[in-house]
Amino acid sequence: MSHSVENKGWVVTFSGIGINLALGILYTWSIFKGAIKQSIDTGGEGAFNWEFASLNDPYAVCCIVFAFAMILAGKCQDRFGPRITAFIGGILVGLGFIWISQTTDYISWVLGFGVLAGVGIGFGYSAATPPALKWFPAAKTGLIAGLVVSGFGLASVYIAPLSKYLLGIWGLQNAMLFFGIAFLIVVCGLSMLLVNPPAGYVPGEAAPGVIEKERGIRLTPTIAGWLPESISSIQAKKEIEMNNREIKPSEIMKKADFYLLWFIYFIGAGAGLMVIGSVAGMAKRSMGEFAFLVVAILAIGNAGGRIIAGIISDRIGRSNTLIIMLIFQAVLMFVAIPIMGSGATSAVFLVLLTTFIGFNYGTNLSLFPSYTKDLWGLKNFGINYGMVFTAWGVGGFVMGRLSQMLKASSGTFTSSFIAAGVMLVIGAGLTLILKASLARQGLTQKRIT
């Protein structure tokens, strides 16, 4: 790949990471929820007056709106390009946070954080990954997808301590105003750097070098640089054919593989989100005022899981990687029961547990877009992945709400961990079925199975 083209691909990739670093504020909800709960407990003029069982509602609504907005956003991305789509996302997220900064009303927070910001996050997130994938060859699909979405998971590393600081000196409302203005500027600014490669572009290797010349290999020029003739005539053509397939959502919804993939995503994402949305509260007993650090540490695991799973799946296949991660996550859920149920939970054990839970959850966010691209190409990737991504939103909404209800009724998270662990085991079994189905169809490329 020529240096100018390679650099352009990396500029797009890091711009996508930057956008996701802003939009990942969703994962810091547990800190905002803690501030709302404290306001309810304290009472007084201007305090929040919500039901305890409703504390997760703006977060749960945001998850499901974000997911379903990905369908419309994906269509917008495929038709008008990533720049316009991400710009719209920045405007909506900024307006949503500015709105909730002016009120403590429950419905306003559900609409501002849950709906308006949720739609904005969907538009920004949907525009970050597709252009980056188009600049690189299939062998790097997992790596590039993992890098771009890692920004979303890594966001809490800086947003968690920043939120804690802003809440302490300004209060919740002013902190929301700060985030609204800042993210409007950042997302809209970085959206200008998101561009698709030119028509006819073929991801390839660098210009002809010494080894090729010494071996007398005939080279063929492409927009990306130069490719050995044997590669350009076989691999490059195959790459173009795979990426430009006209497989529409109406077609993939007729495939059993889509529903298997969707339900596995529902399980993997939902199990992680039900923990992430309440992790600061769970850490409060062991770490007191430093509980926000667990959110940041979980974010590091979350981002690391996205990158590492992407790299591993490029080598051993998406299905094999996913099975390993789902089983590992199930084990962690069952291990969490005695750790979180202990009256004196060790901060070290808590940090390790949340890091690994975040790591395994993060793998979903790089594996499923890679699956989508491998199975159905890049031509309609935006809307196709939007359809798949609804599983993330439904999983977050259903299991996030279930977790809060179980906690409100029992006073512990034990039932939530048991439910999540059992479902994760089921998810691993369904992944085995999906792998067998793909093999029967002849989709045995190493990167998929």
CATH number at residue 131: 1.20.1250.20
**Residues 417, 288: Cα–Cα separation, whole Å:** 22
Asked which of 85-89, 242-246, 387-391 is least confident by mean pLDDT, the reply is 242-246
Hey, which residues does 225 pair with through a beta bridge? 222
DSSP H or E run through 219: strand 219-222
Residue 53 lies in a domain: yes
Residue 311 lies in a domain: yes
DSSP 378: S
Instruction: For residue 413, give the 3-state DSSP assignment.
Output: coil
Q: How confident is the model at residue 233 (pLDDT cuts 50, 70, 90)?
A: very low
Taking 50 as the threshold, does the pLDDT of residue 217 lie above it? no
DSSP H or E run through 222: strand 219-222
DSSP 171: -
Residue 163 lies in a domain: yes
Q: How confident is the model at residue 427 (pLDDT cuts 50, 70, 90)?
A: very high
Q: Of the segments 171-185, 333-347, 379-393, which one has the largest average pLDDT value?
A: 171-185
**Residues 69, 123: Cα–Cα separation, whole Å:** 7
Instruction: Write down the pLDDT at residue 308.
Output: 92
DSSP 289: G
Q: Contact, 89 vs 73, CB < 8 A?
A: yes
The pLDDT tens digits for 88-145 are 999 999 999 999 999 999 999 999 999 999 999 999 999 999 999 888 887 888 889 8
Instruction: Write down the pLDDT at residue 86.
Output: 96
Residue 220 lies in a domain: no
DSSP H or E run through 227: strand 225-228
The DSSP code sequence of 69-105 is HHHHHHHHHHHH-HHHHHHHHHHHHHHHHHHHTT---
Taking 90 as the threshold, does the pLDDT of residue 4 lie above it? no
Instruction: Write down the pLDDT at residue 443.
Output: 57
Query: Which amino acid does the sequence have at 112?
Result: G
Residue 313 lies in a domain: yes
Query: Which amino acid does the sequence have at 303?
Result: A
Structure tokens at 416: 């939530």
Question: Residue 52 to residues 34, 56, 378: CA-CA distances in angstroms?
Answer: 11, 9, 44
Nearest to 309 by CA among 130, 144, 67, 196: 144
**Domain that residue 150 falls in:** 3-197+245-438
Instruction: Write down the pLDDT at residue 178.
Output: 95
pLDDT higher at 235 or 210: 235
Domains of the chain: total: 1
Residue 219 lies in a domain: no
**Residues 203, 222: Cα–Cα separation, whole Å:** 9
Question: Residue 340 to residues 240, 282, 415: CA-CA distances in angstroms?
Answer: 50, 7, 12
Q: What is the rounded end-to-end Cα distance, in angstroms, of the chain?
A: 28
